[in-house]
Structure 1
Amino acid sequence: MQEKILLIEDDLELATIMTLQLQQLALDVTAVSTLNEAQRALQHHHFALTILDLTLPDGDGLSLCGQLRLCYPTMAIVLTTAKSSELDRILGLEMGADDYICKPFSLREFQARIKVQLRRIALLTTPSQPSPHNRIHLGCFELDSLSHEVHIQGKQLSLTATEFELLHFFAKHPNQVFSRAQLLDSVWGYLHDGYEHTVNSHINRLRLKLTELGMHDLILTVWGVGYKFNDKQLRRGAA
């Protein structure tokens, strides 16, 4: 069954090219050019992934990004932005986008980035057999990669697919320091200069959610190097 993709892009020539590239990946694409058209499409279809241009003729794509994350927590959201709009990219990531692509972009890069999100969707929806390897148990922290659930002190942590994969990667390597470039390569599956904001924003969102459960020091910044998963915090939380 083809995954449904919502493409929101007002440059009709670019939208045609992007649609063809997505169809090459055997995806069912609905292409619209305004926020109003996007809202109507969302009322009638369930989309696995939305590709959202932040500059649209009838409004700001940032507001739609926030609505999508709130209403469709498992949907993948990829932003397309001009290289000069750094603040919009950061705001979009902070509001829940999974990734962004700077215009102009190569078609090879575009397809590769979409494949990363499709892989995450497949992990969420493909049944797998229970195994001890599916679980990570560190003090008061429990992560189940089969059900995509995380519990801390018995309370469930609500995460997007990308946030879950980032936390899962950290938990598999407690106290090991990773640079932003290493995290981009290992979690997002690509390594390109200029996309470090993707890592920063996801870590900020993770920290906010973890802090709400009393885990404010679970992901530490190692200044000048990167980030690490602090399992000492978990042992304190379990005490």
Structure 2
Amino acid sequence: MTVNIATPSPWAPMKVLTIEDDIDIASGIGRALHHEGFQVTQVRSLKAARQALQDSVFDLFLLDLGLPDGDGMSWLREMRTAGYQAPVLILSARDGLYDRVLGLQCGADDYLIKPFEMLELSARVNAMARRVRGFQVGQLTRAGVSLDDKAMRVQVDGQNIALSKTQYELLRALLLKQGSVVPRSTLERVVLPSADSTSLDMHVSNLRKKIGAHRLRTVRGVGYVIDADRRA
């Protein structure tokens, strides 16, 4: 299982992946969290959840346990074993003490028993979001480029450089992938604001000028990557 390690930006809305096969519950969660300012992606199976992790980076997860293609607990163990650290809130009708303890032991950060009130769900998600914003930001470094989310500072070979908001998010998305190619479609969805009519190519071009063209490689027909060993 290949995962993206998320370091939430202080600018972008936090991204939540909801893994829930009950359409009514998922829709209610989506409306409640959207109202709170979260960006919510909804899937109904473990297979779809794994695909979502390949396509994007998420800051928080809401996980049902009884899913059509498996037990959510096994997915949680798999994710933690792979090194994914984003907080997970389990949503389940399993209300026994053993189930709650097992969920926490497998790596969940919280456990909410169904049925629940959306007000309580929102409160718990917001509490996790505050912990993520406050304590899990960090520094990303690759190929002489360093991005510090907490200080909102970027350095190239030890020298500070100024980036626009979009350039910062573009660089962050590339560094988060740790040398893997990031598809154009992913960058356009994650980085470009809906009101931004400027093409991704223009933003990439401007970023290249600031961090050094040799550092940002184009994979034609696929996307972009910052390699660890790129040299001028």
TM-score (norm 1): 0.51
Partners of 2:69 and 2:98 in 1: CA distance: 20
Partners of 1:56 and 1:28 in 2: CA distance: 22
User: Which residue pairs with 1:194 in the alignment?
Assistant: none
Q: Indicate conservation of the 8 Å contact 1:52/1:79, yes or no.
A: yes
User: Which residue pairs with 1:70 in the alignment?
Assistant: 81
Q: CA deviation at 1:91?
A: 1.3
Q: CA deviation at 1:86?
A: 3.5
Q: Indicate conservation of the 8 Å contact 1:62/1:88, yes or no.
A: no
Which shifted more, 18-27 or 65-74? 65-74
Q: 1:12 to 1:85 in 2, by over 3 A?
A: farther
Partners of 2:80 and 2:106 in 1: CA distance: 7
% same residue: 38
Q: Structure 1 regions of 5+ residues with no counterpart?
A: 129-239
Partners of 1:62 and 1:22 in 2: CA distance: 23
* Structure 1 residue identity aligned to 2:111: Y
When the two chains are superposed, the root-mean-square deviation of aligned CA atoms in Å is 1.7
Q: Which segments of structure 1 move beyond 4 Å, counting only runs of 4 or more? A: none
Q: Indicate conservation of the 8 Å contact 1:8/1:32, yes or no.
A: yes
Q: How does 1:105-144 map to 2 (within 5 A)?
A: 105-123=116-134, 124-125=136-137, 127=150
Q: Which has the higher contact order (CA 8 A, sep 6+)?
A: 2
Give 3-state SS (helix, strand or coil) of 1:101's partner: strand
Q: How does 1:1-239 map to 2 (within 5 A)?
A: 1-123=12-134, 124-125=136-137, 127=150
Q: 1:13 to 1:42 in 2, by over 3 A?
A: same
Q: CA deviation at 1:70?
A: 2.4
Give 3-state SS (helix, strand or coil) of 2:89's partner: strand
TM-score (norm 2): 0.53
* Structure 1 residue identity aligned to 2:20: E
Partners of 1:107 and 1:50 in 2: CA distance: 16
Q: Give the count of matched residue pairs.
A: 129
Structure ranking higher in helix proportion = 1
